[in-house]
Structure 1
Amino acid sequence: MNFQAKLNRMIAEKTPTQPAHYAAAQDIRIVESTDIFRGQTEIMIKHEGVIYRMKITRQGKLILNK
């Protein structure tokens, strides 16, 4: 099996799971990204007087920049 085939198999077999500490902590608030972004792909977050930019990439991932 070549490298690309092995890589594709590893990706296909990987199923996302939540880390145990998230599943066990019932008091952690979960916020849906759709509620935060409201149809936009980029938002600004002010934290302790500093502005951060959070963006949804074309691949659907989140990036946070200072």
Structure 2
Amino acid sequence: MMVDNFKDMALQSEPAAQYRIIESADLFRGTNEIMIRHDGLVYRLKITRQGKLILNK
């Protein structure tokens, strides 16, 4: 089964409380690129012109 929209995906094997869904608009707040610090390293998360997400170290 192919799922086009993650929030429509049924996670039947796991309780819903284990997953936290954050809207990308809440992360990006009108920009196309954000920096994320994880474990002492900085990553760049970018929205492409096609609306895809790219994560770079």
**Number of the residue aligned with 2:24:** 33
Asked which structure has the greater CA Rg, the reply is 1
Alignment coverage as a number of residue pairs: 51
1:38-59 alpha-carbon deviations (Å, 9 max, x no partner): 0000000000100000000000
Q: Whose relative contact order is higher, 1 or 2, with alpha carbons under 8 Å and at least 6 apart?
A: 2
**Number of the residue aligned with 1:16:** 4
Identical pairs, percent: 55
Task: Give the direction of change, closer, same or farther, for the CA distance of 1:57–1:29 in structure 2 (3 Å limit).
Answer: same
* Greater strand content: 2
Gaps of 5+ in 1: 1-13
**Post-superposition offset of 1:16:** 1.9
TM-score between the two structures when normalised by the length of structure 1: 0.66
**Which residue identity does 1:60 align to in structure 2?**
G
* Greater helix content: 1
TM-score between the two structures when normalised by the length of structure 2: 0.76
Gaps of 5+ in 2: none
